[in-house]
Amino acid sequence: MTKISELKVGESLPEVKLSPVSRLDLIKYAGASGDYNPIHTIDEEAKKAGLPGIIAHGMWTMGNLAKLFTPYYEEGFVQDYSVRFKSMVFLNDVVTLKAMVKEKEDHALRFDVAAINQDGKEVVKGEVVFSIY
- Over the stretch 53-89, which tens digit does the pLDDT of each residue have? 999 999 999 999 999 999 999 999 999 999 999 999 9
Q: Which residues contact 30 (CB under 8 A, 6 or more apart)?
A: 36, 37, 40, 41, 57
Residue type, 29: Y
If pLDDT is split at 50, 70 and 90, which confidence band does 1 have?
confident
d(CA 49, CA 65): 27
Q: Which CATH superfamily is domain 10-19+55-130 in?
A: Hotdog Thioesterase (3.10.129.10)
What is the DSSP pairing of strand 76-85 with strand 108-116? unpaired
**105 phi and psi angles, rounded to 5 deg:** -115, -175
Q: Is the pLDDT of residue 106 over 90?
A: no
Q: Is the pLDDT of residue 2 over 90?
A: no
- Give the predicted TM-score (pTM) of the model: 0.94
Residue among 108, 91, 122, 121 nearest 25 (CA): 91
